[in-house]
């Protein structure tokens, strides 16, 4: 049976809480990540900001790895509810961006409409092949914890993080405040509306619609997929029919517990990749072995698929990254020097830096591509324009969008 990779994107305002997510140079920037991931997955480049989603040090978004290893796999982007919609063909489910779960994620009516549309989409996609459902949404491991607890599971401190050191205390504090407003266990729609987000609900409903139509479904991701499976089960689905595809880094993560959560939800099987990046010649890929990234954008599925085909997954990914860095804008030259500035230690003094964790590898940020007057085009698209309160573009203030793209982006 042929695979169809379905990437579900969306945003939650939980990612705006400082310290929750490292998927951007600032909390506000995390609302751009899903759009850039979706665009890169389909195009091999991005449109929303005109940047390549990798740092000069080579720490890539998982979208780079997934694209490199899924050539020939048909892909569908589904927008469950995004502050910044991807600029590629996509299925819009009519959902709304997720709010701060401490005050409620979304109106119940919006959650009901989202679930109905996603269920219908799943039923229509089911005849096309096995649906492999991936996600991109910063802050999702925090909302996953809240969803699982709202449904009655003991998920405290058991979801993962893209950072080497999981900010469990912060995430648990956010979730405790969120669930203090409710009395678990809740039904699926109530859990998603009160303390969830549009992406987890869409994943569950697409899977349910496909299963009801006789289709096969795999959930491709980390601990977020335990929450999606729990919602699927709460909506009446048989979790035993589900399979989670993930990475070795998630399964071996000592600070999370995907296998335990999947077992408690009743997921049929969990399969993980075996690939190691320890021998990579690229520092950014070796960082995966130190606990960075771990999952996202169906990366585990992509690695498992490559392994099953006998492909040199690491070699293919290194080639993809080398191609990206080769297409990136040349680094500045130091005054009076013929040597190019290749890393953040020699970055231009007028280039602002985004906040980083103390343990994060130093980076000069996403590499901006020269495509004519890219920064002016981004400005015309409104990156510095007047925006409503709460929109991520408003938070950029008067900073040039070109400079913003050079800040530290760690995935």
pLDDT number for residue 328: 60
Residue 222's nearest CA partner among 265, 192, 197, 257 is 257
Angle separating helix axes 224-234 and 198-212, nearest 10 degrees: 50
Look over the chain and give the mean of its residue pLDDT values, rounded to a whole number.
83
Domain ranges of the chain: 3-325
| pLDDT tens digits for range 158-179 | 999 988 889 999 999 999 999 9
| Residue 219 DSSP class | E
Mean pLDDT of 270-295: 94
Within 13 Å, how many C-alpha atoms sit on residue 112's CB side? 4
Going by pLDDT thresholds of 50, 70 and 90, the confidence category of residue 325 is: confident
Q: How far apart are CA 23 and CA 21, in angstroms?
A: 6
Tokens for 151?
């449904």
Residue 95's nearest CA partner among 75, 84, 111 is 111
Neighbours of 325 (CB within 10 A): 16
Residues near 228 by beta carbon (within 8 Å), at least 6 away in sequence: 133, 135, 200, 203, 204, 207, 219, 221
State yes or no: pLDDT of 231 exceeds 70. Answer: yes
pLDDT number for residue 50: 78
What are the distances in angstroms from CA 348 to CA 121, 205, 344, 355?
48, 48, 8, 17
State yes or no: pLDDT of 58 exceeds 60. Answer: no
Residue 265's nearest CA partner among 288, 296, 234, 306 is 234
Neighbours of 4 (CB within 10 A): 19
pLDDT number for residue 9: 98
Q: Which CATH class is domain 3-325?
A: alpha beta
């Amino acid at each position: 049976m042929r695979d169809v990779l379905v990437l579900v994107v969306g945003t939650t305002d939980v990612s705006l809480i400082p310290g929750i997510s490292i998927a951007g140079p600032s909390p506000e920037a995390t609302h751009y990540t899903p759009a850039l991931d979706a665009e890169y997955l389909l195009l091999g480049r991005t449109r929303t900001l005109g940047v390549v989603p990798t740092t000069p040090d080579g720490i890539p978004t998982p979208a780079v790895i997934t694209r490199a290893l899924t050539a020939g796999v048909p892909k569908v982007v589904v927008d469950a509810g995004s502050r910044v919609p991807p600029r590629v063909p996509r299925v819009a489910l009519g959902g709304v961006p997720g709010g701060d779960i401490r005050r409620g994620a979304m109106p119940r009516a919006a959650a009901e409409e989202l679930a109905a549309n996603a269920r219908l989409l799943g039923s229509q996609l089911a005849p096309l092949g096995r649906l492999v459902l991936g996600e991109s949404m910063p802050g999702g491991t925090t909302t996953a914890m809240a969803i699982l607890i709202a449904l009655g599971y003991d998920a405290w401190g058991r979801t993962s993080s893209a950072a080497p050191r999981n900010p469990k205390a912060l995430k648990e504090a956010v979730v405790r405040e969120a669930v203090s407003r409710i009395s678990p266990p809740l039904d699926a729609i109530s859990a998603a509306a009160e303390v969830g987000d549009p992406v987890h609900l869409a994943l569950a409903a697409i899977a349910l619609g496909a299963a009801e139509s006789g289709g096969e479904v795999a959930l491709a991701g980390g601990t977020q997929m335990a929450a999606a499976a729990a919602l699927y089960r709460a909506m009446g689905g048989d979790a035993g029919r589900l399979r989670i595809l993930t990475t070795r880094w998630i399964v071996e993560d000592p600070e999370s517990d995907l296998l335990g959560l999947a077992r408690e939800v009743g997921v049929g099987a969990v399969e993980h990749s075996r690939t190691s990046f320890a021998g990579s010649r690229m520092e950014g890929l070796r960082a995966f072995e130190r606990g960075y990234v771990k999952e996202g954008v169906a990366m585990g599925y992509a690695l498992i698929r490559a392994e099953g085909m006998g492909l040199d997954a690491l070699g293919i990914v290194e080639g993809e990254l080398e191609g990206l860095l080769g297409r990136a804008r040349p680094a500045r030259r130091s005054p009076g020097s013929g040597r190019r500035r290749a890393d953040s230690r020699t970055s231009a003094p007028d280039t602002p830096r985004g906040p980083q964790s103390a343990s994060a590898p130093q980076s000069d940020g996403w590499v901006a591509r020269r495509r004519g007057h890219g920064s002016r085009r981004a400005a015309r698209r409104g990156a510095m324009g007047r925006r409503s309160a709460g929109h991520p573009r408003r938070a950029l203030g008067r900073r040039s969008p070109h400079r913003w793209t050079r800040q530290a982006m760690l995935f």
